[in-house]
Amino acid sequence: YETTDGHFVRWGILYRSGVLSNLTATDFKYLTPLDVRVVCDFRTAQENSTNPEIWIPGVDVTHVSLPIGGDSKKSITQSLDDQLRANPTAAQLKEHLTKVYGEFAFTNAPEFSKVFDQLKSDHLPLLYHCAAGKDRTGAFSAFLLLTLGVPEKTVLDDYELTNKYLRDAISDEASKKLLSSNPALANATPEQRRGLMAADPEYLKSTLRQIETKFGSFDNYRRSELRVSDDDVVKLRARLLEK
């Protein structure tokens, strides 16, 4: 991806992924040459107990647990439980997800900042994942790309591209299995699951507009909440961008 000053995000350094519970021998063969050093997991303990994370046998990698959700916070899955019990329409579900995304930047900044700590320490290549590789990782990807100077339109396009590789690439049965760590989500109707699996740019826009409303700019949010200073930005861009 090209930045506003004509640089490009380096290829093969950062990876966004869904759950890593069903990796096969073929996957191990593909992943090994990537030489991933750190795997950051945004899933809760409940999610991991249902679908335990695995990695390449015999390969040393640092696993960093950064649970977003759980008992201490109103997570996206917890709030969806209440919403799904009311059997929402597609429009109601989209409205709810837009609202949830609007709060993502504020409730989950401590976890996102710890991934930036890994990047600042040059712990690369790095992979970060959640369950579907869409919501928690989608928000973090946006913050990372914006920090590197990628224009918002490109950031939104990258998020929307998730539909090609996730929603449109797997069967309804596969999406049901992917959501199986939460009973309320697993029991959703096929139409509701399609809505849950969708990467609608309006969701992410909601997050970015809320940041601007509360902090005045993304840079202010980045400094105060993600704990990424202007000096950190210079170092990260030198490390993660190329001409």
Over its length of 243 residues, how does the chain's per-residue pLDDT go in tens digits?
999 999 999 999 999 999 999 899 999 999 999 999 999 999 999 889 988 999 999 999 999 999 997 654 455 555 667 777 788 888 888 888 888 888 889 989 999 999 999 999 999 999 999 988 999 999 999 999 999 999 999 999 999 999 988 877 677 676 666 666 555 566 778 788 778 788 999 999 999 999 999 999 999 999 999 999 999 999 999 999 999
Q: What single-letter amino acid sits at 187?
A: N
Please give the pLDDT value at position 179: 64
CA 211/CA 168 separation, integer angstroms: 30
Give the integer Cα–Cα distance in Å for 234 and 243.
15
Helix (H, G, I), strand (E, B) or coil at 180: coil
- The Cα 219–Cα 225 span in angstroms is 10
What is the reported pLDDT for 73? 47
In this prediction, residue 208 carries a pLDDT of 96
* pLDDT number for residue 218: 98
User: Could you give the dihedral angle defined by the CA atoms of residues 20, 193, 92 and 72, in that order, rounded to the nearest 10 degrees?
Assistant: -30
The predicted pLDDT at position 170 comes to 72
Rounded Cα distance between 76 and 232, Å, is: 30
